[in-house]
Structure 1
Amino acid sequence: MAVKDRRKRPRVPSINGSEHAVAPDVAVAFLKNTMPFRELDDDALRDLALHCKIDFFPKGTRLLTYNESEITHLFLVQRGGVRAFITDDDGEIVLKDYRGVGSNIGALGIIRETKANLNIETIEDTFCYLIPRDIFKELVRNESAISHFYLKSFSDNVVATAYTELRKNKLTRRSTEELLLFNTKAAELSKPLFSVSATTSIQECGVIMARQGIGSLLVYVDEDPGSMIGIITDTDFRTKVIAEGRDTREPVSSIMSSPLKTVPADMLCFDVLLKMMTTSIHHLGVEQSGRVTGVITSHDIMVQQGNSPYYLFKEIAAQSEFEGLYLLSEKISGLVRNIINEGAKAGDIARMIALINERIIAQILILLHRQLGPAPVRYSWLMFGSEGRIEQTFKTDQDNGIVYEEPNPDQRAEVEKYFGVFGEQATYHLLKCGYPSCPDNVMVSNPEWCQSITGWKEQFGKWIEQDES
């Protein structure tokens, strides 16, 4: 293909003034793990890598604007994430999708030679590889693996139908990819195992990860290479090595996360995803017959799924304003429709809704602490009814309370005042997120349901002794 003529490499214009050339080996390592480019042979990959640049886009950057932006490059998300959406005539977002590491942006417009068909905006600080439009079009023409992937995924009929339904406000959110959350097992998506001894130096581990183009290494004890005791990821290198200025001659055991969290090889990807959401862990070992046989990452699942509860979960956790939570909570029903169409069972839906609702509650509490200051004593948030049983269907009414540590006599008034305001504010923000008030007033804003440990003991005593006849 023509990209092999290195003397005729086109100049890549600046996207936001910060694009940089990237070492071909680094680009090749990324492309080898990204569909559909991993289907190319080594020579084609290396020639393509010579044309790649990398650019940084801060959170909130508009990469493309619907029906306005000329698409000069194919964007490949190297780190971070974006949202893709269209607005209706009233300016409301009526279609929304989330794309993470390995996702591509702009392919459809380049293939059809049209302007951007979606608004694309970063939801966190994001790095993207940039492939010039002409180079990408040449790949589509000359490489069957590339053309088959994109022309199948982005057929004109699917897009035209989606837009027609969208403008009629009858669109059901669907991915253009086959969703496999409920019929794919962890073993089917797990990557080959790469491991090192716990005494291996940090520097050696970095070299291995760079050469292999991988984002993690499992760690075993010297005496038993089959016994995995921990894991290191590229995040560990950034946060524990570079940020802390560690000596790279130290053993990798000094920065590994231990113990290694695992999932059974036959666990469905939906359950793996829920575990990742619950634990905030993005790399899990895959265990079969008592041995770790591979690694599965959140990216592996995202590549298969497209639209995902995982990205909504991440965006909720990233919110710094209450108003952002109000808007995101409106997306839960669309997400539920997606997984119902995929074949989710009632129990799966209830667990996912519970996790997302818990994330919304947790973020509200985090923002309240920033606003009101830290709690004067330790406390626990209580969930009753369907919330407590993890049986929620969409947004049931609020059933919650608080139990807090017994305060000293001289701080009792301060503590009661703090939790009084805290409870009222929490109830208000949950209401704004679409969770109705409890008709029986079983809510944290009611002092009866927001008490010290002693107060709760006394309350239970009254309930137990009370004659309800």
Structure 2
Amino acid sequence: MNTIAEHIADFLKQYPPFDNLNFEELSEIATSIRVINLEKYKTLFQINDVLHDSFYVVASGVINLSVIADAEETLLNKCVEGDIFGLRPFFAKNNYMMTAKAREESIIYAIPIAVFRPFVAHNPEVLDFLLQSFATNTSNPADKENLSGKLISDNVYFSDQQSEMQYVQLLNYNNTPLKVAPTAIVQDVAKQMTDALTTGAIVAENNIPIGIVTNTDMCSKIATGRFLVTSTIDKIMSSPVVTVIENISLAEAQLIMLKNNVTHLCVTKDGSDKSDIKGIISEHDLIVAQANNPGVLIKEIKRSQSTKDLKLIRDRLTNLIQKSIQKNISLSNINNIASEINSAIIKRSLELAILDLGSPPVRFAWLSIGSQGRKEQLLCTDQDSILIFEDVTADKYRDVKDYFLKLGKRTTSNLEKTGYPLCPNGHMGSNMLWCKSLTDWTKQYNNWINTPGENSNEISSIFFDFEIAFGEQKIEEAIENVIFNNVKNNALFFDFLGNDALRKNSPLTFFKKFNIEEEGEHKKKFDIKTRALMPLIDGARLFALSQNIRGVNNTYLRFKQLAIVDPKNAEIYLNCAEAFLTLSKFRTLEGLKNDSSGQYINLQELSKVDKENLKNALAPMRELEELIKTKFKLTQFS
């Protein structure tokens, strides 16, 4: 082996994942490596470039990885000595999604994927390292202390909740695959594949897979003349078939294809080649799945030019939520993802309204309240929002408010066209009651907190669950300060809020039967929103405000946070957190099934096990109720 290759092998041995290979293997790889000298500011590859046949390791210097978002180039990461980047050709077929440019004069090692792939397939540690990085968009998964040797994904998108979004990479595939008998003639199968517009056919006996034939087999075995077109298909099929279980994730499918060096996977009932065929996954399906990545949806939202575009994306979100639940992905992760996409749609709806109306006369903030303010809006429930604009002089107030009312109406109309119904109670930024200046909003919150119950029968507690969707962050912070400064030691406010939380009817009767609706269109159904979810939401809000927990509006996370700040009652809070997720899942499934808000559960359609699970999830509510009475000394309430 030449001395340059030896030097490269020695260098690679210091860094993961190469430290999992022996020197002999590294030496073999090193002889195929190209050394690239990149001058300062020289680009190695850029967004939308066709994929290279290699991935890269920084030998010296610094490489900047960046993307273009909102017409700005944003630096994602700096790769230094030992860092790996440009992995995209390993796992995806679509073009690069970032730019790699030398920040200073650099030396790069280009490692051919064809040479490296066999070592990956036979070294699970190497494979896991590469795949985990690519699939989760993290830095080096082995590198918790940010040491050198980071591995940078090329599957990047933007989001404040970036770390949460990686959990959902869903895979739709052909669940009516072309199946042929082993005695079928090659020529006939080729025609069937062409007619079905498919790149693969499963060879089956009694719906059990015994082989697979792909376009590659047709090209390498028939077109080359090795076999005649009159041969039976079993002569050219690949066997045994690589099989996977139903509801496989994108990351898992990528891993298995890479490991087995195949372009198609057969989906079976139990994942083995001894059970019934359920579908076929092709490389093309992986590319389509990446297009449904939540980050890709957010990019598409930012580029949308109409409510029609936004509606199509919102429909894809519904599909994403449904598939995520089927895969048993944690509901709290699904909530985060849905919230990010909903927020992006709200923001774009506002931007489209501003493009029509012209620039706002002063700074403002659009706050989502209610379920979206809590990051709990999985279904297309109605919109809830408020609009707060900067204080202006009295002579300008009317004109400024007039602009923002128009903006509110245009935005809520855009959202309605996108699929979010208008709030029947009028809790929206388009309503003159909920579109006002910061000073007016300050007075409103002061009244709600210091004289609760006066001038209104309810405190409109959803106004205490908010998240900025667009505008000036400082305005949101100002409102938060008003709330937390006023609630401190405010017994009257907590007395009112506590009684309000306890006023909801119990979900179960004295005999532990479900409290169902007795009349109306939902007769005999269980109101899971009012009787089960709202008491938990109200309880979490009440305790979070009393414990001065800021910046956490999500019910599940509020309970988790309460368990930390009030360890004596941690068990109650944690039980309530889990109950909230379980009940939310019941509601979401009901809503998806009936294209509704999921508020009313038809108990007759639930299995005995589901009914029991639903009943068990209601158990912690009794403890929460007692805790509210004890903490806030509420012995009598109306």
TM-score over 0.5 for the alignment?
Answer: no
- TM-score, normalised to structure 1's length? 0.43
Q: Which has the higher strand share?
A: 1
* Greater Rg over alpha carbons, structure: 2
Structure with greater contact order relative to length (CA < 8 Å, sep ≥ 6): 1
